[in-house]
Amino acid sequence: MSFQEQIKKTTSLGFFEGQVPLNYKYTMGVAGERFFQTLRDKGDFIASKCPECGTMAIYPLIYCEECFAEIKDYVSVGLTGELYSWTECSSDFKGARHEKPHLLGMVRFQGVQGGIIHRLDVPLSEIAIGMKVIAVLRPSSQRKGSLDDIQCFKKA
Amino acid sequence: MEIKKVPCKGLSTEEYDKALKVDWQPELAYAWDNGIGIGAYLAALKEGKILAAKCDGCGRIMLPARAFCELCFRPTDGYVAVHDTGVVNTFAVSHVNWDASRLKEKDPRHLPAVIEIDGASKGQGILHILGNVKPGDVKIGMKVRAVWKPAGERTGSITDILFFEPVK
């Protein structure tokens, strides 16, 4: 019987709804902690610099991805970078539409591996890949040591 | 290449409290399809009946109702309503809630139990809770019966049976 049974009325389909309660706190790590502390306290971006091959990375690392050397040096790279890529985003995490599409961009820094993905505050008509952009930070009293300490990137 | 000591260590509680952290609660909502066998079983609960499935291969009356026999590996051959009475097969006295929070001293203990239902094959039963009984008075083999929610409040869920109480 059962395998031959069919439910033809979709309204009689039964299901159970539930929610898995889950939350986490993820630490930034040794180099990440330094990056966000510097952002919060000094309003600056730092990159890690490999003592052996000189490779710089943002977000900073504690070992070099190129030569596996341990990194203890961090250098300031300033708040100005280059727009590497961008996109327009019309809905949020949960799928709700934004009133106005958000612009997101990946910003890279001269001679540095990796980059920062953040909001862009640049008129759509002026966006160009390779353009110089500068981070707009929240006032130091409002900074908490998170990515949200950056308000957006705007045209430099 | 020489492997150097990894330049990391675990954090103490104080260090962890001070460390910068990303705090997030993912929303993990789900809807789980009842399927045909359990769907029929739950629909019957709403009617105040406990439904089992029978298999003509091994002759078992299986509870809860299911779409196939896991011993014969063939479709089951029909549903049969069984009684809402049975005996305690096994039980536990729980001092914690489902989320592992401790019950207070004066709170009644939870008594999860497997009830072998009358009319189903030996060993066929459902996991439910016992009520109207003191933890010390529960015995394996004790006769119990289902206490149902009022018909109008039943939703087609295992909680349509409030608990099983001893048959006096």
pLDDT tens readout for residues A41-78? 999 999 999 999 999 999 999 999 989 999 999 999 99
CB count, 10 Å around CB of B48?
Answer: 16
- Cα dihedral A31, A37, A40, A41, rounded to 10, equals -130
Partner-chain contact A1 B76, CB within 8 Å: yes
pLDDT given for residue A3 in this prediction: 58
Residues 91..130 of B with a Cβ closer than 8 Å to A: which?
99
Partner-chain contact A1 B31, CB within 8 Å: no
pLDDT given for residue B8 in this prediction: 61
Among the partner-chain residues A1, A20, A26, the one whose CB lies closest to the CB of B75 is A1
Which residues in chain A are closer than 8 Å to B25, comparing Cβ atoms? Answer: 22-23
Beta strands (DSSP E) in B93-142 are: 112-117, 125-129
The one-letter code for the residue type at A130 is G
Question: pLDDT at residue A7 above 80?
Answer: no
- Mean pLDDT, all residues of chain A: 91
Among the partner-chain residues A1, A2, A145, the one whose CB lies closest to the CB of B20 is A145
pLDDT given for residue B26 in this prediction: 87
pLDDT given for residue A11 in this prediction: 74
The ipTM of this complex is 0.72
DSSP annotation string for A91-124: E-TTSPEEEEEEEEEEEE-TTEES-EEEEEES-G
Which residues in chain A are closer than 8 Å to B1, comparing Cβ atoms? Answer: 68
Which residues in chain B are closer than 8 Å to A41, comparing Cβ atoms? Answer: none
**What are residue B24's DSSP bridge partners?**
A24
CA distance B151 to B45: 10
CA distance A143 to A66: 33
Residues with pLDDT less than 50, chain B? 1
pLDDT given for residue A12 in this prediction: 72
**What are residue A57's DSSP bridge partners?**
A48, A113
Among residues B160, B97, B83, B167, which one has the least CA distance to residue B125? B83
Tens-digit pLDDT profile for residues B7-56: 567 788 998 999 999 888 888 999 988 888 899 999 999 999 999 999 99
Partner-chain contact B23 A18, CB within 8 Å: no
User: Could you tell me the CA-to-CA distances from B31 to A19, A60, A135, B155 in Å, in that order?
Assistant: 9, 41, 42, 16
Partner-chain contact B36 A62, CB within 8 Å: no
Q: Looking at residue B130, what DSSP letter applies? A: B
Question: pLDDT at residue A89 above 70?
Answer: yes
CB count, 10 Å around CB of B105?
Answer: 6
User: Could you tell me the CA-to-CA distances from A156 to A64, A119, A133, B13 in Å, in that order?
Assistant: 30, 15, 5, 42
**What are residue A85's DSSP bridge partners?**
A106
Beta strands A150-155 and B125-129 are unpaired
CA distance B130 to B117: 14
Partner-chain contact A13 B26, CB within 8 Å: no
pLDDT given for residue A21 in this prediction: 86
Give the gyration radius of chain A's Cα atoms: 22
pLDDT given for residue A83 in this prediction: 97
Q: Return the residue matching tokens 């250098």.
A: A75
